[in-house]
């Protein structure tokens, strides 16, 4: 066995950096409004500045980061209206996908989901928020990919990405993680039982907590920032 030193190119490395920054945002390690200085990130993450630059451009396109010319990049702060709109689209998309998942589901899908969920449950049990986040993403991708339309899956993921900046509240909370775990188990069970209505309902319900937690927090913050002016 030979350890191949694979040499990635800028675009790929930038993707990796973007993913890393995305995680740090979701986990609340990078907070909204926080400034993202190119050289700083470049040094910390061990890449050249132009790679960071490209990563930031990607995160801007995705909507996680805001960039103003000559001033730099910031973690974007979503306002409650926007969050509501995004979640409304997510609901429609995920319902659409869930309705196209073949029922009865192939064993292959069920065992795959169970396997992923084991990893997720383990991460939740050990309180490893990062691992939980990763497993969570993989679970949803595998679930919706079963609808058979990769382009629909892509949209679902894109919309999920958009609100990652709004998820630092729930992504680190043991309570919310446990709830997510239980709902995942419920989805698997619904698929196994061939109960489509229940699956769709669970998907919809699954979106609620993080949305509501963020909106509550954001509205409190907005109210505050109004009284303090700016």
Partner DNA sequence: GTCGCCATGATTGTCAACAATTCTGTTGAA
Partner DNA sequence: TTCAACAGAATTGTTGACAATCATGGCGAC
Binding-site ranges for DNA (CB under 7 A) = 7-11, 13, 35-39, 48-51, 53, 67, 69-73
Answer yes or no whether residue 4 interacts with a copy of itself by CB under 8 A. Answer: no
d(CA 120, CA 146): 19
d(CA 176, CA 197): 24
CB of 206 to DNA, least distance (A): 36
- With beta carbons less than 8 A apart as the criterion, state whether 48 and 88 touch: no
Binds a copy of itself (CB under 8 A): choice among 19, 27, 45, 57: 57
Binding partner of 89, given a copy of itself, DNA, none, CB within 5-8 angstroms per partner class: a copy of itself
CB of 5 to DNA, least distance (A): 10
Binding partner of 94, given a copy of itself, DNA, none, CB within 5-8 angstroms per partner class: none
Binding partner of 106, given a copy of itself, DNA, none, CB within 5-8 angstroms per partner class: none
Give the closest residue to 59 by CA, choosing from 17, 11, 9, 8. 17
Answer yes or no whether residue 72 interacts with a copy of itself by CB under 8 A. Answer: no
DSSP 128-168: -HHHHHHHHHHHHHHHHHTTS-HHHHHHHHHHHHHTGGG-H
Q: Of 41-49, 85-93, 186-194, 202-210, which part binds a copy of itself (CB under 8 A)?
A: 85-93
Answer yes or no whether residue 9 interacts with a copy of itself by CB under 8 A. Answer: yes
Answer yes or no whether residue 85 interacts with a copy of itself by CB under 8 A. Answer: yes
Give the closest residue to 208 by CA, choosing from 183, 187, 191, 186. 183
Answer yes or no whether residue 13 interacts with a copy of itself by CB under 8 A. Answer: no
Give the closest residue to 92 by CA, choosing from 37, 159, 41, 191. 159
Binding partner of 58, given a copy of itself, DNA, none, CB within 5-8 angstroms per partner class: a copy of itself
Residues 6 or more apart in contact with residue 85 via CB below 8 angstroms: none
């Amino acid at each position: 066995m030979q350890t191949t030193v694979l040499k990635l190119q800028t675009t790929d490395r930038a993707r990796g950096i973007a993913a890393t920054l995305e995680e740090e945002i979701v986990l609340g390690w990078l907070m909204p409004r926080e400034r993202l200085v190119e050289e700083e990130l470049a040094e910390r993450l061990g890449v050249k500045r132009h790679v960071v630059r490209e990563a930031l451009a990607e995160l801007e396109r995705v909507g996680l980061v805001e960039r103003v010319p000559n001033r730099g990049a910031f973690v974007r702060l979503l306002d409650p209206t926007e969050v509501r709109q995004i979640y409304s689209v997510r609901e429609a998309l995920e319902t659409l996908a869930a309705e196209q998942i073949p029922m009865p589901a192939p064993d292959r899908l069920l065992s795959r989901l169970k396997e992923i969920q084991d990893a997720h449950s383990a991460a939740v049990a050990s309180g490893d928020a990062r691992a939980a986040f990763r497993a969570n993403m993989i679970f949803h991708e595998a679930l919706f990919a079963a609808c058979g339309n990769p382009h629909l899956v892509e949209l679902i993921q894109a919309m999920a990405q958009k609100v990652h900046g709004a998820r630092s509240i729930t992504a680190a909370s043991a309570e919310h993680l446990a709830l997510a775990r239980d709902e995942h188990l419920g989805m698997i069970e619904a698929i196994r039982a061939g109960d489509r209505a229940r699956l769709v309902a669970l998907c919809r319900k699954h979106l609620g907590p993080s949305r509501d937690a963020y909106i509550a927090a954001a509205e409190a913050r907005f109210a505050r920032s109004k009284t303090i002016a700016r």
